[in-house]
Structure formats: structure tokens, C-alpha cells
Amino acid sequence: MTQHPDAKVFIVDDDAGVREALAWLLRTRRLLSEGYDSADAFLAEIAGWKAEPDVPCCMLLDVRMPGTSGLALFEHLLTLPWKSVMPVIFLSGHADVPTAVDAVKRGAFDFCEKPFSDNALVDRVEQALGLSAQVQAERRAQHSVQQRLQSLTERERDVMDLVIGGLPNKLVADRLNISVRTVEVHRARVFDKMGVKSAVELTNALRQAGSP
Amino acid sequence: MTQHPDAKVFIVDDDAGVREALAWLLRTRRLLSEGYDSADAFLAEIAGWKAEPDVPCCMLLDVRMPGTSGLALFEHLLTLPWKSVMPVIFLSGHADVPTAVDAVKRGAFDFCEKPFSDNALVDRVEQALGLSAQVQAERRAQHSVQQRLQSLTERERDVMDLVIGGLPNKLVADRLNISVRTVEVHRARVFDKMGVKSAVELTNALRQAGSP
DNA sequence: CTCGACCTGGCCGGTGCTGCCTATATCATC
DNA sequence: GATGATATAGGCAGCACCGGCCAGGTCGAG
């Protein structure tokens, strides 16, 4: 049984038999799936999405398909901001080494050759879903910090950038050619908006939100 | 011309002809190389090293060799603390997709099939050397911070841990059941030994040294 | 034109941090 | 037993920081 009850697996393959076999296989592990007969069909689907997926998900993607190839679809996914939320497992009947190596180097989660072991494949799917869940958790944590950051005014951000560099208010004031008192005002607003009480807490909050 | 004049490429291949051809190719780009006719020969070489490499380096590694295979050597390298200083480019005449995919997923820099384009290979070598140089720079930066950390006494570390958590001296004192004055003493020593002037600088120094 | 958002900055009292002095106690080492 | 490292802690002067109070300025939206 999976640890991700609401997870979803997207199957993109032009062969209906393959899609059904994979869907059946995933159902035996209580995994939801959705089939698409082409890369474009999947692209049409995500075009309708208003936000990035909020449940763990991954993709089983055939390399060779009529029309847009699996590799091309993968390339397109890489341009999306939530690319790492959707790990891609390539499926291929007769791939060459350079293609597979290139896909993995670009971040594909795995590259499986047909015929593959059912158990091994579903294990990989569940690992991919685990990674997806982890990435989503990180993105959610980053989201609140990101929103707080966007609520800062331009000047407040200027001050914050220098403060998290470790400069005392005096030097921040010199650097921005304003008075210490004004720096203190901005600094206090930044702490307030970011929900912290000290410069150290601020740097910690920014660090764990992926700014480095 | 490479940007890494002292870089070194380690060639591990049982075929003397291949080693010479690669060495010649690298010389045309002014790259130093060293050949080994087996994985064990290379292992014997690094067994004599007193420290990790201090110049950018990478490895061109044949997958199939008599005795210890290239893959096994790669596995062994992964156990070394400086593994990422030595990017590995696999060379293979007739590899299967799973082998190549697995190698890349485990962190191999590339996996090239023979016959390969000379230019493409040397380009990859130079990219690998660039990565190696970058990793070495990071490790050197971490090294000084690590040494400074080790110069701290136990108590100083206790105080530091709480200070970088953003606690004011008062609360640190409460947490450790000592007086504020003593916390201030330890705190000052920590700043001095770590070469910083404020808690923010300290957290920044620790962050960029890979402690997260 | 008024209103709100934003940037600016002076004053003042309170709190926190720093540096420099001093001192005691422990513990290991020579 | 002397020496040095370490942890403990008080006093004091000085600087840094905080927050509340005030007030002036610009600029765009209504």
C-alpha cells in the first residue's frame, strides 16, 4: 500500500494496450492513474490547470509516439516552474544509450526498457511519488515565505538585503544614503512582515526557503 | 585552451591503444593525462595519495575491463569523501541502456558510447574539469570554516547553537542555566574564533559551508 | 483635491550587546 | 606546586538596537 492515498500517475503512451496494462498494474497497488494517447493530449490537459498539482504525482512517458515525442514533452515540462513536482519515468522499447543518458542527465527520474518487471516499475513509481510529495512539501513551505517577501516594498527589500548581509544599521544607512532612523523603520517593518524578531531568524527563514 | 592549466585527466582502460589515443587527443587541447591499464592500478595510485586532489581532475573510465570493472571502480569512488571532486565520464563500446542509466543516476558525469566525436568528448572533459574546480573551491571554503568550528570548546558550541537559532543572550542563558554575562563571554569567543562580527555573519558563514 | 501608501528622519527612554577590567574554581599537564 | 585552559560571573562605559511619538515629503488613485 502506498503512503500517498491521493497520488496520481499520468500515463502518456499512444498504445491503448500499454495504457490499460499500466493502469491495471497501478490499480493493483491502489494507485490512481490517468491515460493520454499523445503528448499533445496531456499538454491540453495541463493547459487547463489553474495551479500546480497539489497531490503527489508522476508520469510514465513513452519515448516514441506519433506527433510530439515523449522527449519533446519532457523538454516542455522542464520549462514549467513546477517541473520537479512531476518526476518522469521514461518507458521505451528500443532506446539507444545516448538518448537514455541524456534524459537522465536532464533530470528524468528513471528510464525503463520494455519489457520491465511489473514490481520493479511500481516500486519506482512509488519512489517517484515519494519524491514528488517531498518536493511539494518544500514548495509549500517556500510559498509562505515567498508571499511575505512579495509584500515587502522595494526600499524594505533594499534594507533587508544589506541586513541579512550582516551589516549594522549604521553601515546600511551609509550604503543607502539615508539616516539610521529610517533604516530602523524599514528594518522593523521587514521583521514584522516576515514574521520574525531578529536578523538571525530572518536569515534562517530565507535559508530554509531555498533562496541560497 | 582550457581555463584549468594544471588540470589532470585520469584514463582507466585496459586497451593501450585507446589510452594512447585519448592521451594524444587531450594533449591537442593542452590537457595533462595519466593512463592506467586497470581499475586496480588506479586504486593503487590513489592509495598512495596523502590528501584529496588539489587541482581539477576527472576520469575517463572504460566500463568493461578484465578484473575490477569500471562500474565497480566507480562504486568504490562513490565511497570516498572527495568523490565529487573527480567527475567520471564512462566510455563504452557496447553498453546496454540499464547500465548507462544506472551509472548516470548514481552520479556519473556522462556516459559516452564509442565511437564518439573527439571534439564532443574533449568538450565534456573540460566541462567535467570545470565542475571539479568548482567543487574544489567549495570544499576549500568549507575546510576553513570546519577548522574554525573544531577550535571551539564544547560550551562555546552549545552557546553558538542557540545563538544561530536566533535566541537573545538572555534566553540562551536561561536555556543553559548560566548567567547572561557568561553567555556574552562565550559568544564573543565564538565570534572571534569564527572570524565574524555578528550573529548574522556567523549564520551566513555556516550556511555557505554546507551545514544545512 | 483629498486620501492612502510610502519614504524620510528627529527625539527619547528602555533594552540589548560589546569590550575591558576583575575574580574564583576546576582540571589537566608539566 | 606552578602553569595554562576552561567555565563561571560581576561592574562599567559605550555603542547598537527597539519602539513609540512626532512630522514632513512625494505620488498615484479616486
Q: What percent of chain B has pLDDT over 90?
A: 86
pLDDT of residue A75: 97
How many other CB atoms sit within 10 Å of the CB of residue B141?
Answer: 14
Q: Average pLDDT of A202-207?
A: 91
A117/B182: higher pLDDT: B182
pLDDT at residue A115, rounded to an integer: 83
Residue with CA nearest to C8's C1' atom: A182
With a pLDDT cut of 90, the percent of chain A lying above it is 86
pLDDT of A211 higher than 80:
no
One-letter amino acid of B140: R
DSSP one-letter code for A179: -
C-beta of residue B194 within 8 angstroms of C-beta of residue B202? yes
Q: Which nucleotides of D are covered by protein (CB under 7 A)?
A: 6-11, 16-20
Chain A residues whose C-beta sits inside 8 Å of any chain B C-beta: 92, 95-98, 100-101, 104-105, 110-111, 113, 163-166, 168, 196-201, 203-204, 207-208, 212
Give the model's pLDDT for residue B58: 97
Q: What is the mean pLDDT of residues A142-147?
A: 90
Pick out residues whose CB falls under 7 Å from strand D. A 168-170, 180-181, 184, 187-188, 191, 197-199; B 153-156, 176, 178-182, 185-186
Q: Residue A101's closest chain B neighbor by CA?
A: B101
- pLDDT value of position A212: 53
Q: Is the pLDDT of residue B3 over 70?
A: no
> Which amino acid does the sequence have at B3?
Q
Q: Which residues contact A154 (CB under 8 A, 6 or more apart)?
A: none
Residues of B with a Cβ under 8 Å from any A Cβ are 92, 95-98, 100-101, 104-105, 110-111, 113, 163-166, 168, 196-201, 203-204, 207-208, 212
| Residue labelled with grid coordinates 572533459 | B125
A167's grid cell: 551589516
CA of B142 to C1' of D7 (A): 29
pLDDT of residue B210: 66
> Which phi and psi angles does A87 have, rounded to 5°?
-60, 140
Residues of A in contact with B196 (CB under 8 A): 166
Q: What is the pLDDT of residues A34-84, one digit of tens each?
A: 999 999 999 999 999 999 999 999 999 999 999 999 999 999 999 999 999
**B83-120 per-position pLDDT tens digit:** 999 999 999 988 899 999 999 999 999 999 988 889 99
What is the DSSP track for chain B?
Answer: --S-TT-EEEEE-S-HHHHHHHHHHHHTTT-EEEEESSHHHHHHHHHT-SS--SS-EEEEEES--SSS-HHHHHHHHHTSTTGGGS-EEEEESS--HHHHHHHHHTT-SEEEESS--HHHHHHHHHHHHHHHHHHHHHHHHHHHHHHHHHTS-HHHHHHHHHHTTT--HHHHHHHHTS-HHHHHHHHHHHHHHHT-SSHHHHHHHHHTTT--
Rounded mean pLDDT, B139-147: 90
To the nearest whole Å, the CA of B131 is away from the closest chain A CA by 15
pLDDT at site B209: 74
Report the gap between the CA of A46 and the closest CA in chain B (Å): 28
B168 touches strand C (CB under 7 A): yes
Neighbouring CB atoms inside 10 A of A48's CB total 6
